Structure 1
């Protein structure tokens, strides 16, 4: 669980500073700094008026000045001059020594706590007006005596009549050292207050500071400040803004409730939306909203109740139909004037979603159901009919049969408009709660399956589909259900053997559908069991390609060809080029629709794993530009994940770590994209020194890929796992990773993607003194790769020869070939391997290779690799080009203060992710600091770091 960050002792979560109010804060501070002055701060409840004033008074404008604060309260019989009495009651001995005239004695009945410093009470006057005037004079004299000061009067929309009269009196001649701040809610301000704050006071400056709710970006900024993060995701900021309408109080209350409930799971700077959806209305918002509604007339309350049920802005005619009020204008005006409702989108709605929820949840259940029923009837009569809203209201009106029909219609409408997420939600709910006959149930399940294919909800729909395939229905329906469940299980990364059985069982029932037959054959081609030859998968792919000619649906034909082309590429079969040519021909080289973009993705992701990097970038870039991708979250996530993998392979690492962390939350329920992203995350973690995360993540990906038969993923994942384990001083773990990969290669023979792993395999086996095994592997690789379409094969085999035969020239050949193919990090490692061997033998060529390796690492931001290479340079006296840094001081070989913090937390047993949370930085930043620590202390593992750090402390060598 992620922590929330700064808060008050009572649990209230607040931001450590003002966010998004720089202009308003400057205006208020300027007015306070030039007394006499009057500043009115206007804004709705919860917008941050008091916080703005507090922040201004903490700055130079409040220094050396007494601050007097009084508040008006929403009680029916306001105490006369209440806020003035509250403000001056805190003065105490501030009046000591003041030369007050006898008129100030009139304050004794109002302010008995000031009796020691006030003159005696003057003789009473018969005229009430004159008596009140005397009190006004006394208050003004007391304020003058304690100046320079700032008088803050809060919530003046609730002020009593005498307070308004006194302020009019005071502002006719404000004391020279007095600044007056008046805060109020504009929607509840009366004409007297409006006139008061608009009239320029005699001899004093007048300023008006309106406060509007925060926009989406500033809402995110406030949330980040409260949570102690550098930033929050755009999605989280948008969701929070939609819930709170940018009201700082509401934002703070929601985040306080999040902490109290412990509902939010942190993933980098991302937050699980599902947890937020379960939150009730925070108490502070609920109580203030209901109190405001309680002060409305009966008709206004009826209107407000109806709007809370509708949730969307409601028009006057709709409100008349729902409430039965013939003329709702007066009630509507009252609700708007009191700040409960506001005009929006041609209707009237609540100022923020939390207020609507508070009123809705407070309704009597019977009343609520009746209003839902009326809302369904009103909306059902509209043209076009908002079917989703009608279904929602019918369900909550307790009319299940009508709701099920409406929900199916709404789902069909949503799917036709590209909103598959809504279609999935509606159809899944129908299957869970309604009881249609078998054929109808099967049809609904099929519609659910098709909608889910384009969403990130694979896991959520597997159970309804599993239940449906056992129904007694016609073969055509049963075949389509089995086919859909097989595809959905593949998306969820679950039960590969079950997927295969479903596709095989579906084929006889899909003879009338060549499109689905071809798609099922693609599924059979990629779900090959460990005991089945890979040729079996290729046979299914070739059959699928042949069937594509008979598919009438061009988009589905393209989709099938894309899947088949990618699978052929992963097997090193050169016919992939012909298949991809057909895809490009059918799409005109530019994908536009979802199926087309999906085909380009399938080819692009296969190209990433097989080293066809230019093809990978071209196809994935084209897919990302398709208009349809922008409207489909699942497709956008998978293509962005593919691009992340391509960028990692080609060395385009700038900003990549942040992109991956952001995408991981979206891909949580979509196994293929999640694997791609975790693969990149582990590779970046290894390059920046977060070895624990690199090893753990890469191992998890390797084992999951083996489990689901994603054989193309295993080599890269196992290579990262092996390298990280070796760097952690765990040679046994490294050998385990290598053997996992070798077992897959022996069983399946999928060698084209294995080129990425060849250097790691030979390095680990040699380091483990298993040279015989390394040579056997080299022989296997040379034979297996000889006839495959595998671009990285030449470089990988050269690396093998260089290591096993101790020939640095071959390693340089490998490096040059990796560079030509844009495989940047592998090029750097090959240069470093050549340098190590040359330098060990005293060959001066090693210096050039080492500088080439360091240049690659520094360009990528691979700080761990750069540190390791720099240590090699120091051992052999190789001078490396100076890096140019600007800004912050360098600490040389000493640890910086932040590096010291990171090191101490690391030796205390914390992972990089835990250190990041403790220091409120990103894991990537921690990784960079860890790489610097390990480099400066020449530590090879965290275990060794403990000893070196203690020694460094004793010697004082690395103290900041």
Structure 2
């Protein structure tokens, strides 16, 4: 399949960010609600910055609990105004003080509320004792609270409260036994001093006072997903996005919210395949709110603790006291003092091995970003030298630190074993990333750079994400490395070989051929790689070579493979050779296929076998050997499922969708093709194949967008050198032009593809092209040229047994007969073509051939027979979904005086308040506990379609949740196997 033009993410659905929903705090809200209901009560809500203390209070305050609450917030001031939070809270009340039942004691409030002077009792005589004056003021405030009917006093951010405010809270606690207001207080425990009055609030509760301490921790990963989804219109987010965001924010709601807003502002997330996904980001930028809060906290610490935090930020992972001390340039004792201070501030956390690191990634990032660039290099060098003492050496971390320190030789010394370690664990992407940044370092010797480039290229070939930004970085790096003076021919060949294979993956077929040809000449020292390169040169695309040249490369590869010891390499070569021969239309491919295994003994072997059978299935579909295609694709899907390879599964499902198109199984195919298009924008081949499938359906239905879609496929396949994928698109465009009577355009669009077929001599590729080209020539009055082309196709297919090509040849002959033979012979010729299509089976083409047969019968004067055959084709095409063809036949029947069968034309039948069969499929899987994503994979529908059908079912059953839906349909027996598939719901 040809690669497609990458779709700009700007075309994707743009995020519209809203206030996040309240998630993950149901238990805490219930505890707060229940405790406050048992008045009087004291509730302490503790948690770090951004953990959701204020949101919890907001949700509770918004509830209809019938309580009068006075809310105060402590400002983040180093020297807070005495009783400032309480005063500000009272100033927010709307009730007039003048009418309140206050005693003369309230005159003590005049200094705090000068604006109320006219409403308060006269000022009291001053007292010399500060404690006495404060106690009198507290009593007056308490009286005011009671007069206002305040049931609950809420104080937020009490860690910033002044001492007098805290003393007032203690005063209220002491008086709660007389039915005073309840207290709800939030604070950050890490910012509360050991001797703070705040800690005494719940140490000795009066008798009859309910108490609770609610500690808020980070939300769970699933709550992170729900929170982000609530910000993005309720649409789901991908598992990868959820994990990425949860790990980097530590599950802190404010950090999650701010990060999502920042990512939306930067267009770092897009809507794909029914869910929000992030683009390829290595890091998450620190939101300003988190950055400023972190720096404020760090600035309060001692110089030693700040240096410890800078060292810990550079180390980035769990690190020993010794490593932190060495990085900070401190003694162990000095480091321990700083670590203890940072831990007390709840910035560092400890594990069970007495190692330390930041409690949250974003906090660490904020500290790291505050370090001057020159200081960072020094700290990284110290970190690397400290970690060199660890056994075994942490090579990945060492490579990172020496890279950041600017020490290239030590960086390279550790990057290569780190990459080897990543490759051994199957993480090819990590290996590639480790090596890529080394390649521009010209301080390394040329042979070292050649070795690193070759390793990076080979590692990139094994990545699961074949065409992305990393892919493009690798290609650029390999090309740049080839320009380095002093590389030997063998070193260049080692780079060109993976480069050529990568270029094939990226759709640069012509450039790939150039690189591989040059590589083969100097790979005599490595027969396995030489054979692989030869096999790739045997693939019949991206070059002007005739099929005979490709066959020579394939046979050279086969000869070389016989001397290779590795069974895995021989299997890989045989599988690729078989697929290449299928593309050439050579029957000897099936001899190679017959010797291939259907299973393997290891995961890599099974994945390779799955890939091989997928390619063979693709070739079998092209040939029209659909039973063989289904058998090989079933093997591939079984192995891909067993190894959980989503990429291979996508490839297999695409070919199964193509198979369903050709065999006339069109039900649900539109949803599947749309899903391929939407979900594979980063995989050009799959994306473009999805566009082609969508275009086929659109053309059959008579929709105008089909032309634009086929034009896209043709243009992109031409640009990328995938000549075989230009054929069907050109043929369909020509068919559309002929239907409009534009004969010259039909000939023009098929000119270049036909030249390619003739040059390469691969007439298998002309299955769709040849019949429409013959028809266009005949419409242009060039009967001799049409007959000559038909003869040329026959000669080209001599010795080849592909059923699809043989059926196309029969159709070409029928077209030629229609132009010059009698109508009876023409009818027989079209009947033979229809039988050839039926034998595969390929019903859509068979139905259109029989339409031509019916027209010939009418021309022969066999009206009844012709009308009957047309009517039958009309009905079958209509039910298949080929409405454009059905309408054409209906018009012909009317013109010929025939009767058009009366068929229901209202689109899909409505089911009223009953579950449709499609909805029942979805609901049955919901009852089985499947997620929407799992359902979409099982039913081969897009997630958006599954969601739509699920919502429709919920609406019909009159429920609002998946759980309620499952319960109701189960209790009602709506999914019983023997039940009416359209059973009504109530």
> When the two structures are superposed, what TM-score results if normalisation uses the length of structure 2?
0.75
The offset of 1:718, in angstroms, is 4.5
Structure 1 window deviating more from structure 2 (655-664 vs 838-847): it is 838-847
Contact 2:45 2:184 in 1 (8 A): yes
Say whether the 8 Å CA contact 2:654–2:686 is kept in structure 1: no
Out of 879, 885, 901, the position equivalent to 2:904 is 879
Contact 1:41 1:181 in 2 (8 A): yes
Please state how far the C-alpha of 1:98 moved relative to its aligned partner.
2.5
- Cα displacement (A) at 1:657: 5.6
Higher mean C-alpha displacement, 811-820 vs 561-570? 811-820
Specify which of 718, 721, 742 is matched with residue 706 of structure 1: 718
Q: Which moved more, 1:460-469 or 1:817-826?
A: 817-826
In structure 2, what is the equivalent of residue 227 of structure 1?
Answer: 232
Give 2:525's aligned residue: 512
Cα pair distance change 1:502/1:194, threshold 3 Å: same
Give the corresponding residue for 2:657. 647
- Alpha-carbon RMSD across the aligned residues, in angstroms, is 5.1
Instruction: Provide closer, same or farther for how the CA distance between residues 130 and 516 of structure 1 changes in structure 2, counting only shifts above 3 A.
Output: same
Give, in whole Å, the separation in 1 of the partners of 2:279 and 2:600: 38
Equivalent residue of 2:176, what SS? coil
Deviation at 1:207, TM superposition (A): 5.4
Structure-2 change in CA distance of 1:691 and 1:161 (3 Å)? farther
- Whether the 8 Å CA contact 2:15–2:269 is kept in 1: the answer is no
Range with greater deviation from structure 2 (207-216 or 566-575) = 207-216
1:185 aligned partner: 188
Range that drifts further, 180-189 or 417-426: 180-189
Q: How many residues align?
A: 878
1:736 and 1:755 mapped to 2: Cα distance?
18
Instruction: Give how far 1:542 is off.
Output: 3.1
Q: Is the 8 A contact 1:660 1:680 kept in 2?
A: no
- Of the candidates 79, 99, 102, which is equivalent to residue 104 of structure 2? 102
> Residue 4 of structure 2 corresponds to which residue in structure 1?
none
Residue 510 of structure 1 aligns to a residue in which SS? coil
The 1:239/1:773 distance shift into structure 2, 3 A limit, reads: farther
2:802 alignment partner in structure 1: 790
Q: Look up the match of 1:84.
A: 86
Structure-2 change in CA distance of 1:622 and 1:313 (3 Å)? farther
Cα offset for 1:749?
Answer: 4.5
Given the alignment, which residue of 19, 24, 32 partners 1:15? 19
What CA distance in whole angstroms lies between the structure 1 residues aligned with 2:240 and 2:830? 46
- Secondary structure of the residue aligned to 1:433 is coil
Alignment of 1:75-474 (within 5 A): 75-95=77-97, 97-147=99-149, 151-171=153-173, 172-173=175-176, 180-189=183-192, 193=198, 196=201, 206=211, 209-228=214-233, 230-262=235-267, 276-277=281-282, 280-323=285-328, 324-327=330-333, 328-343=335-350, 346=353, 347-455=355-463, 456=466, 457-469=470-482, 471-474=485-488
Q: Which has the higher contact order (CA 8 A, sep 6+)?
A: 2
SS of the equivalent of 1:246 reads: coil
Q: Cα offset for 1:674?
A: 5.0
> Please, which of 473, 489, 496 is the counterpart of residue 482 of structure 1?
496
Matched residue, 2:934: none
Native 8 Å contact 1:3 1:227 kept in 2 = no
Q: Which range moved further: 381-390 or 822-831? A: 822-831
- Identify if the C-alpha distance between structure 1 residues 588 and 448 changes in structure 2 by more than 3 Å, giving closer, same or farther: closer
Q: Secondary structure at the match of 1:153?
A: strand
Deviates more, 1:85-94 or 1:525-534: 525-534
- One of 633, 637, 641 as aligned partner of 2:647: 637
**Structure-to-structure mapping, 1:693-772, within 5 angstroms:** 695-696=707-708, 698-718=710-730, 741-752=753-764, 755=767
Q: Which moved more, 1:788-797 or 1:232-241?
A: 788-797
Distance in 1 of aligned mates of 2:204 and 2:887:
68
| Structure 1, gaps ≥5 residues long | 8-13, 891-921, 930-960
CA contact (8 A) 1:766 1:774 kept: yes
Among 39, 57, 74, the alignment partner of 1:72 is 74
Q: CA deviation at 1:196?
A: 3.1
Deviation, 1:205, is: 5.7
| Rounded Cα–Cα distance in structure 2 between residues aligned with 1:407 and 1:766 | 66
Structure 2 spans left out of the alignment, 5+ residues: 1-9, 894-898, 917-941, 950-986
- Asked if the contact 1:223/1:232 (under 8 Å) is kept, the reply is yes
* Residue number in structure 2 paired with 1:664: 680
Counterparts of 1:697 and 1:27, CA distance in 2: 58
Counterpart of 2:981? Answer: none
Q: CA deviation at 1:747?
A: 4.0
Deviation at 1:567, TM superposition (A): 1.4
Question: How far 1:24 sits from its partner (Å)?
Answer: 4.6
Q: Does structure 1 residue 550 correspond to structure 2 residue 575?
A: no
Rg comparison, structure with higher value: 2
Q: Secondary structure at the match of 2:398?
A: helix
The alignment partner of 1:240 has SS state of helix
Matched-pair contact (CA < 8 Å) for 1:685–1:924: no
Which range is displaced more, 312-321 or 864-873?
864-873
- What is the CA distance between 1:868 and its match in structure 2? 12
Q: Deviations over 1:83-131 (max 9, x none)?
A: 2222111114454533223333322222334445433333344544443
**Residue of structure 2 aligned with 1:561, choices 574, 579, 589:** 574
When normalised by structure 1's length, the TM-score is 0.77
Provide the residue aligned with 2:980 in structure 1.
none
Residue 48 (structure 2) aligns with: 44
Give me the whole-angstrom Cα distance separating, in 1, the residues matched to 2:228 and 2:208.
42
SS class of match (1:182): strand
Pair 344,590 (structure 1): closer, same or farther in 2 beyond 3 Å? closer
Q: Is the 8 A contact 2:617 2:655 kept in 1?
A: no
State the Cα distance separating 1:293 from its structure 2 match: 0.9
Distance 1:357 1:832 in 2: 70
Query: How far has the Cα of 1:160 moved from its partner?
Result: 3.1
Per-residue CA distance 1:908-940 (angstroms, 9 max, x = gap): xxxxxxxxxxxxxx99779999xxxxxxxxxxx
